[in-house]
């Protein structure tokens, strides 16, 4: 198919795309032997309510009847142990590629019939396309680190079925966007500080040794998505040998910076779209850590999702993902304020971040640039290969992130000039 062709694509060399908008599918990662999708959960606002009957059976469709039968058999066994109400099964996710998530009610006493009920999440992940074992492994890591993640209550990895606890329906992203609309910075600040504390806790308490390495090969495979899908396919631009040399130098700089950093557990998509506001439980303030803790001692905010692609890699990666997100942007002054708070907490916790905040901020920016170039390529691939053109609406946000960083540092300035024609920008040099 020619460059620029695909669902909703125009044949022009440069394409104007609308202002960025939010949507409901997580970034798809590269180079791991599975095809992850985001875990996007929705449930009733209250965690517990009185039992209600469901007179009609579930309307979940199964393209493969045999898989549907296998699911029913597994659900009956899980339901007996957890008091699940099969007729309450309903969809709980949208725009998932291979995984599907359902919500189902169950009795708090663990027996069907009578009493209060709460909701659970069921994952359906066809084993030919998905491997649920990384999800199970990383869920256990997060919980062992004292963080709030879905607990796996029942599992059949061979068939790709999991029963999970339900973290609710209030996304960080929705709440932060609402705070921005209302100019309520204190509300946003409270959520972001919780996320920063949780990040430090993840990095200091999780044993990353069993996770896949975020190594030179993976970093470069991700970077290659940008010229392959964004430059060549989306924008129909062919780089000259000189342009390709600039790109190669830029990749070397970014990879070298990433690999020089301390290695920790990396969520790999630690952004507001994958964090849940968990305020249903009765809470008290833990004064020593400055965090909300539910009355059982378990941290209740944020709930953490979409972690199955965790790796061991650069300490700055998840912070860059959180501060310069795919779906919400902040003034740089606010980004730096939160970065300083993270940096101070990380040093106090014993993480080997640089003593000089300026050097640490450079690491964050360069790591963010690597991520944003990857995402530019992925969003264009989703448009052209996967027939999801809506993703291209967020290209301007990522070009702006990338150009801001590249134009700020002397070593990356040649790359900023390479980006400008792709953005439709003409540079005017002034001499005074």
pLDDT of 127-137, one tens digit each?
A: 998 899 999 99
- Higher-pLDDT residue of 310 and 391 is 310
Q: How many angstroms separate the first and last alpha carbons of the chain? A: 48
When pLDDT is averaged across residues 205-232 and rounded to a whole number, the result is 96
Tell me, what's the pLDDT at 34? 38
Which tens digits make up the pLDDT trace of 325-343?
Answer: 988 999 999 999 999 999 9
CA–CA dist 370, 406 (Å, integer): 11
SS (H, E, C) 364-421: HHHHHHHHHHHHHHHHHHHHHCCCCHHHHHHHHHHHHHHHHHHHHCHHHHHHHHHHHH
- Residue 332's SS3 state is helix
Asked whether the predicted pLDDT for residue 52 surpasses 70, the reply is: no
CA–CA dist 151, 162 (Å, integer): 10
CA–CA dist 317, 94 (Å, integer): 27
CA–CA dist 389, 263 (Å, integer): 36
Neighbours of 399 (CB within 10 A): 21
User: Would you list the DSSP string of 23-47?
Assistant: -S-PPPPSSSSS----------SSS
Structure tokens at 384: 């052209």
Which tens digits make up the pLDDT trace of 288-319?
Answer: 344 444 444 445 789 999 999 999 999 999 99
- Higher-pLDDT residue of 413 and 96 is 413
pLDDT confidence bin for 358, thresholds 50/70/90: very high
Average pLDDT, the chain: 83
Residues with Cβ < 8 Å from 404, sequence gap 6 or more?
none
When pLDDT is averaged across residues 214-239 and rounded to a whole number, the result is 97
pTM more than 0.85: no
Which tens digits make up the pLDDT trace of 114-165?
Answer: 556 789 999 999 999 889 999 999 999 999 999 999 999 999 999 999 999 9
Tell me, what's the pLDDT at 49? 35
CA–CA dist 388, 59 (Å, integer): 26
When pLDDT is averaged across residues 343-363 and rounded to a whole number, the result is 97
pLDDT confidence bin for 361, thresholds 50/70/90: very high
In degrees, rounded to 5, the angle at the alpha carbon of residue 253 between the alpha carbons of residues 202 and 261 is 25
């Amino acid at each position: 198919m020619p460059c620029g062709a695909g669902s909703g694509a125009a044949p022009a060399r440069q394409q104007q795309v609308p202002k960025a908008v939010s949507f409901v599918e997580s970034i798809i990662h590269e180079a791991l032997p599975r095809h992850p999708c985001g875990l996007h959960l929705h449930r009733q606002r209250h965690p517990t309510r009185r039992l209600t009957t469901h007179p009609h059976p579930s309307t979940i469709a199964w393209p493969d009847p045999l898989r549907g039968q296998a699911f029913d058999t597994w659900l009956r066994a899980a339901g007996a142990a957890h008091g699940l109400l099969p007729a309450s099964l309903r969809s709980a996710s949208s725009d998932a590629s291979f995984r599907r998530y359902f919500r189902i009610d169950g009795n708090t006493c663990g027996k069907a019939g009578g009493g209060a009920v709460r909701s659970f999440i069921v994952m359906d992940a066809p084993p030919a396309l998905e491997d649920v074992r990384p999800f199970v492994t990383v869920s256990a890591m997060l919980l062992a680190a004292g963080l709030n993640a879905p607990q796996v209550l029942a599992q059949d990895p061979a068939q790709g079925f999991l029963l999970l606890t339900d973290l609710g329906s209030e996304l960080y992203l929705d709440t932060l966007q609402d705070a921005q609309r209302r100019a309520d910075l204190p509300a946003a600040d409270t959520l972001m500080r919780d996320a920063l504390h949780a990040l430090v806790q993840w990095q200091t308490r999780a044993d990353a040794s069993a996770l896949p390495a975020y190594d030179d090969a993976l970093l470069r495979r991700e970077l290659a998505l940008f010229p392959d899908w964004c430059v060549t396919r989306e924008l129909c631009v062919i780089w000259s040998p000189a342009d390709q040399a600039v790109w190669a130098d830029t990749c070397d700089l970014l990879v070298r910076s990433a690999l020089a950093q301390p290695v920790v557990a990396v969520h790999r998509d630690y952004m507001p779209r994958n964090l849940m506001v968990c305020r249903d439980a009765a809470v008290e303030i833990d004064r020593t850590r400055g965090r909300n803790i539910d009355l059982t001692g378990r941290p209740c905010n944020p709930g953490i999702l979409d972690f199955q692609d965790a790796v061991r890699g650069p300490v700055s990666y998840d912070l860059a993902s959180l501060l310069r997100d795919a779906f919400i942007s902040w003034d740089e002054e606010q980004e730096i304020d939160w970065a300083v708070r993270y940096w101070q907490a990380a040093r106090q916790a014993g993480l080997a971040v640089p003593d000089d905040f300026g050097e640490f901020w450079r690491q964050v920016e360069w790591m963010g640039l690597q991520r944003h170039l990857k995402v530019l390529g992925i969003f264009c691939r989703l448009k052209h290969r996967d027939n999801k053109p809506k993703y291209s609406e967020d290209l301007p946000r990522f070009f702006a992130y990338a150009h801001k960083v590249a134009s700020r540092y002397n070593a990356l300035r040649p790359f900023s000039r390479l980006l400008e024609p792709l953005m439709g920008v003409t540079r005017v040099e002034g001499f005074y």
